[in-house]
Amino acid sequence: MLVVAGYTHDIRDGRLDLESFLHTHRPQVILYDVAPPYQRNWDFLQHLRGTALRGYRFVLTTTNTAQVEALVHPRDEKIYEVVGKAEDLDAIVRATREALRARAVR
């Protein structure tokens, strides 16, 4: 599994062309950190999911699990898991593996 990084502030500010990034790297799962301000970052994720990121599977990280889980629609099958600590690498790896397996069977 290859891991690459892109930053939402670079996408938002036009320093990273998301479509070129996706074409170059062809991610199978996207790890997205919903950081403060939560609503702004959530809205940006929703915007991206409606355009360039349509159909991708996500593992979300956040420092405020309750607030982010309240934003996630319960039947959103593309949001695989919300990990409460961005530094919890074991949970991130486990959730990403699960999302990869789930994607492979669909």
Q: How confident is the model at residue 106 (pLDDT cuts 50, 70, 90)?
A: very low
Sequence-distant (≥ 6) Cβ neighbours of residue 7 within 8 angstroms:
16
**Residues 16-41 pLDDT 10s:** 999 999 999 999 999 998 888 888 99
Neighbours of 11 (CB within 10 A): 16
18 within a domain of the structure (yes/no) = no
36 within a domain of the structure (yes/no) = yes
- What is the H or E stretch that residue 61 is in? strand 57-61
Taking phi first (over 0 means left), then psi (-120 to 50 degrees means alpha), and beta for anything else, what does residue 33 get? beta
14 within a domain of the structure (yes/no) = no
pLDDT averaged over every residue in the chain: 85
Q: Return d(Cα 56, Cα 6) in angstroms, integer.
A: 15
**Total count of domains within the chain:** 1
Q: For residue 80, what are the domain limits?
A: 28-104
Q: Return d(Cα 96, Cα 99) in angstroms, integer.
A: 5
Mean pLDDT of 34-53: 89
- The closest of 3, 52, 68, 50 to 29, measured between CA atoms, is 3
**Residues 4-16 pLDDT 10s:** 899 888 999 999 9
20 within a domain of the structure (yes/no) = no
11 within a domain of the structure (yes/no) = no
What pLDDT is recorded for position 16?
94
19 within a domain of the structure (yes/no) = no
Q: Which DSSP letter does residue 29 get?
A: E
5 within a domain of the structure (yes/no) = no
97 within a domain of the structure (yes/no) = yes
Neighbours of 101 (CB within 10 A): 9
